[in-house]
């Protein structure tokens, strides 16, 4: 996975205002305590905070959204069942390492990865499209693959959806996807 880094600080106040800074700090603190979503005691509070950010969200425009979202991200917390299952159960006997990916907003591509010990991973690549009316990035997977012991096995995979980026700064991204899953990311 190639890491793409944006310029820091430009985005730090892009989504601020209306009390968002306190909500974001609380979310990040709770995400750090969640063991990447495996500890669920604060999930309802986190979802309420994200819903509040979403209700106050204002479109920031295509150029700013592309600059803010472009780059590599590591998932700190999620409600998505597939990632949580990997986090809890591992993969072919290997322990979960991280979930994340890279988004290239200028080439309209992305790679999602769930990484495990010993170099094993599940990856999915695809195309994206920006909808600036709601800071949304729509995605369509092209291919998925499993990497096990130096062998890559492609899988037939067709799915798509979107994520509304309700908050982005130089270090964190918070969103809600088309299936209603909530996510908090950090830069690697």
Dump pLDDT digits (tens) for 92-148. Answer: 889 999 999 999 999 999 999 999 999 999 999 999 999 988 899 999 999 999 999
Query: Has residue 12 got a pLDDT over 80?
Result: no
Region 69-91: mean pLDDT is 95
Residue predicted with more confidence, 124 or 4: 124
Kindly give, in sequence order, each residue whose CB lies less than 8 Å from that of residue 55, ignoring residues fewer than 6 positions away: none
Q: What is the pLDDT of residue 17?
A: 46
Report how far apart, in Å, the C-alpha atoms of 30 and of each of 44, 69, 70 are.
11, 22, 25
d(CA 31, CA 29) in angstroms, rounded, equals: 5
Query: Has residue 153 got a pLDDT over 90?
Result: yes
Pick the closest to residue 75 from 106, 109, 115 (CA basis). 115
What letter would DSSP give residue 171? S
| pTM for this prediction | 0.86
Q: What is the pLDDT of residue 73?
A: 98
Q: What is the pLDDT of residue 9?
A: 45
State how far Cα 108 lies from the chain centre: 16
Query: Has residue 2 got a pLDDT over 90?
Result: no
Q: What is the pLDDT of residue 19?
A: 60
Query: Has residue 44 got a pLDDT over 50?
Result: yes
């Amino acid at each position: 996975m190639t890491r793409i880094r944006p310029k820091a600080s430009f985005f730090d106040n892009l989504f601020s205002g209306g009390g968002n800074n306190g909500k974001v700090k609380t979310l990040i603190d709770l995400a750090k305590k969640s063991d990447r979503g495996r500890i669920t005691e604060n999930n309802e509070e986190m979802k309420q905070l994200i819903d509040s950010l979403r209700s106050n969200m204002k479109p920031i425009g295509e150029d700013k959204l592309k600059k803010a979202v472009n780059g590599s991200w590591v998932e700190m917390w999620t409600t998505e069942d597939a990632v949580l299952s990997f986090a809890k159960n591992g993969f072919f006997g290997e322990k979960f390492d991280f979930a994340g990916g890279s988004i290239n907003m200028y080439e309209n591509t992305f790679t999602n990865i769930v990484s495990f010990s010993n170099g094993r991973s599940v990856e999915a690549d695809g195309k994206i499209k920006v909808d600036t009316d709601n800071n949304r990035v729509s995605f369509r997977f092209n291919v998925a693959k499993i990497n096990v012991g130096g062998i890559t096995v492609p899988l037939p995979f067709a799915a798509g959806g979107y994520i509304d980026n309700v908050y982005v700064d130089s270090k964190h991204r918070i969103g809600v996807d088309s299936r209603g899953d909530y996510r908090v990311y950090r830069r690697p």
